[in-house]
Amino acid sequence: MPALPLHEAGKYVAAAYIVVFALVLIYVTIMAIRLSRIERQLSDLLEQSVEPSPEPLEDLGAQESTLV
Amino acid sequence: MYGKHLRALSICTAVTFAVALGLVFFYAPIEADQGFVQKIFYVHVPLAIVSLCGFVLGGVLAIVHLRTRDSRWDLRAYVAIHMSLILGVGVLLTGSIWAKASWGHWWVWDEPTLVSFLIVFLLYATYQPLRFSIEDPERQARYASVFAITAGAFVPLNFAAVRMSTGYVHPRVLGDTSNLPGPMALTFVVALGAVALLYATLCTYEMTAKHTRFQLRALRRARSGELSRAGRFGF
Amino acid sequence: MPVGTAKVVGALLRKELLLELRTLESIPGMSLFAISTFVVFHFALNQTSVSGQEAAGILWVTLLFAAMLGVNRLFVADAEQGGFDGFLLAPVDRSALLLAKALALLGYLLVFELFAVPAFGLLLLGPSLAQALPGLLAVLALADVGVALIGTLVAALAVQTRARDLLGPLLALPLLIPIVIGAARASSPLLALTAAGGPSARWLVLLALYDLVFGLIAYAVFDFLLED
């Protein structure tokens, strides 16, 4: 088969690279959903552990500000 | 801690990928036979090589798991195969697009590399169903390792058998890097490095995420145990 | 004290064959399935006779799918009725079970092909089966060893899962593709209208090598499936 002209070939090359990009993007999206679930569970845990005794709250706040 | 190198790895991957893309589109010459379409080579072949190496790596990690009985090696084998499967989807899709662009059909049976890859992919597609339909965690890890070793050994065998069944029909750009002119070979090597780094980054990412989930689950379990103990003793 | 492996294999094999003789679960089912598949092929292809590569393809697809029925049943009785526990309690080499099960499956395949291959010759094959038979026997023997080894390993993997009937064939078919390549290519000249000599040596070598390598792999990993 003769080589495709550039405007024809460009579509296929673009499609191939976009497919790979889209795959990585889908993976990142799935991981993002999982990350938000982890975050929600963590904040639930944090609430539970803070409720009984209010003292550690200040400590946690201090830690948070150093992290940022 | 799995996430220690994650930042460095991600930066390396991003930089190498940018360099690779620049080389592919602005440096590597247009190939004489296939023209611009040959640019797919720089993403398809590295993906295929990395994904196959990942499958075999999964087998090697599974051997270590069966020898040491340390479930962390099973986790590594699982992640290696999982990521190879994701890259494998990319291999099949880009291969199909390349086949359409250069031979006019979405699928060609006389390209032994692509056909063998499909067979390997179909085999590995049963890894997760097999794994997750075994309930006992210890047995799940053991059976998954047996599968990973068997399938890892099957990868080269299958390639030899499929190559035997098809003649060398097409002029080969695939897989044969020895006769590439200098600039193309350089571009190919950089692209291979970029995909390998992407694989390593995604594996580390997945492992970190899994480990975080395990830790969170352990924390919740410890926490609920504490609460129920507290309840039992009438606090 | 461990008993001699050959003796253990003999005892296990006797148990398998006795069980099959008493229950007749595998071989009749496989044979009937193969013959029904030939009838299905006759109507699906709308042809009264086939030859060459087409004949080889139909024969091997049918034999493999029928073999899957045997593979799926291979360990079910052991998993459900405590055969594994009994075996694990005995102070014997674990690989004996692999060898015994593979030999039993090989036996089932050989007996079932005794019905299925003549039925194929009678129902669908254009050229006479007699001229193809000597070469075909060699191909069948080599392919059966491979199917028996892979089938045993896959059956042992799949039997502990929830979806064992589905996973068995899904695991086995990709692993069997090199055998299909070798067997179908080797038998197509035997089944051609104008007999083209014996099977080509390279396909027989492919089959033999694949059997050997898979035998070693199965031997290396099988023990790990039997620990509980």
- pLDDT of B33 reads 74
Task: Please indicate whether, in this complex, the C-beta atoms of A12 and B97 are within 8 angstroms of each other.
Answer: yes
Mean pLDDT of C59-80: 90
Quick: pLDDT tens for B106-139.
888 878 888 899 999 999 999 999 999 998 889 9
- pLDDT of A28 reads 92
Chain A residues touching B40 at Cβ < 8 A: 12-13, 16
Q: CB within 8 A of C188, min separation 6: which ones?
A: C52, C53, C55, C56
Cα–Cα distances (Å) from B24 to B30, B41, B94, C27, in that order, read: 10, 10, 16, 59
- pLDDT of C103 reads 93
Radius of gyration of chain A (CA): 24
Query: Which residues of chain B from 165 to 204 reach within 8 Å of chain C, CB to CB?
Result: 165
Chain B residues touching A25 at Cβ < 8 A: none
Task: Please indicate whether, in this complex, the C-beta atoms of B220 and A41 are within 8 angstroms of each other.
Answer: yes
| Statement: residue A65 has pLDDT above 70 | no
Nearest Cα to Cα of residue B60 among B199, B155, B176: B155
| Statement: residue A62 has pLDDT above 60 | no
Query: Touching check for A6 and chain B: CB below 8 Å?
Result: yes
Q: Assign B133 to helix, strand or coil.
A: coil
CA distance C63 to C214: 20
CA distance C93 to C87: 10
CA distance A52 to chain B (A): 11
- pLDDT of C89 reads 83
Q: Is the ipTM of this complex over 0.85?
A: yes
Mean pLDDT score of chain C, rounded to an integer? 88
Residue of B nearest to C219 (CA): B150
DSSP-derived secondary structure for chain C: -PPPHHHHHHHHHHHHHHHHHHH--SHHHHHHHHHHHHHHHHHHHT-S-B-HHHHHHHHHHHHHHHHHHHHHHTTHHHHHTTHHHHHHHS-S-THHHHHHHHHHHHHHHHHHHHHHHHHHHHHTBSS-HHHHHHHHHHHHHHHHHHHHHHHHHHHHHHTTSTTHHHHHHHHHHHHHHHHHHHHHHHHTTTTSSS---S--HHHHHHHHHHHHHHHHHHHHHHGGGG--
DSSP-derived secondary structure for A48-59: HHHSS-STHHHH
CA distance C177 to B77: 25
CA of residue B187 relative to chain centroid, distance: 21
Percent of chain B with pLDDT over 70: 90
pLDDT band (50, 70, 90) for residue C59: very high
- pLDDT of B78 reads 94
As a residue count, chain A comes to 68
Mean pLDDT of B143-152: 94
- pLDDT of B175 reads 47
Which is higher by pLDDT, B159 or B225?
A: B159
pLDDT band (50, 70, 90) for residue B179: low
Quick: pLDDT tens for C45-56.
988 888 888 999
Query: Touching check for B38 and chain C: CB below 8 Å?
Result: no
Residue of C nearest to B119 (CA): C174
Q: Helix, strand, coil proportions of chain A in percent (round to 5)?
A: 85, 0, 15
Q: CB within 8 A of A65, min separation 6: which ones?
A: none
Mean pLDDT score of chain B, rounded to an integer? 86
| Statement: residue A57 has pLDDT above 70 | no
- pLDDT of B228 reads 63
Q: Which amino acid is residue A10, in one-letter code?
A: G
Sign of CA dihedral C154, C158, C164, C166: negative
Sign of CA dihedral B79, B80, B83, B84: negative
Mean pLDDT of C205-222: 92
| Statement: residue C165 has pLDDT above 90 | no
Q: What pTM value is reported for the model?
A: 0.86
Mean pLDDT of B90-110: 88
Chain C residues touching B66 at Cβ < 8 A: 221, 224
Nearest Cα to Cα of residue B156 among B55, B38, B36, B41: B55
Quick: pLDDT tens for C74-105.
888 888 888 888 888 888 888 888 999 999 99
Query: Touching check for B205 and chain A: CB below 8 Å?
Result: yes
> Six-digit token pair at A50?
């803070």
Mean pLDDT of C34-62: 91
- pLDDT of B71 reads 87
CA distance A46 to A64: 13
> Six-digit token pair at C162?
């929830």
CA distance B73 to B71: 5
Q: Which amino acid is residue B173, in one-letter code?
A: V
- pLDDT of C101 reads 92
Quick: pLDDT tens for C98-156.
999 999 999 999 999 999 999 998 898 888 888 888 889 999 999 999 999 999 999 99
Q: What angle do helix axes C95-123 and C201-222 make, rounded to 10 degrees?
A: 150
Residue of B nearest to A40 (CA): B216
CA distance A42 to A58: 18
Burial class (CB in 10 A: 0-12, 13-18, 19+), C71: buried
Cα–Cα distances (Å) from C110 to B110, C31, C64, C67, C142, in that order, read: 34, 11, 13, 10, 11
Mean pLDDT of C28-57: 91
| Statement: residue B235 has pLDDT above 70 | no
- CB distance B173 to B185 below 8 Å: no
Mean pLDDT of A17-36: 93
pLDDT band (50, 70, 90) for residue A2: low
| Statement: residue B153 has pLDDT above 90 | yes
- pLDDT of B75 reads 92
- pLDDT of A61 reads 46
Percent of chain A with pLDDT over 70: 65
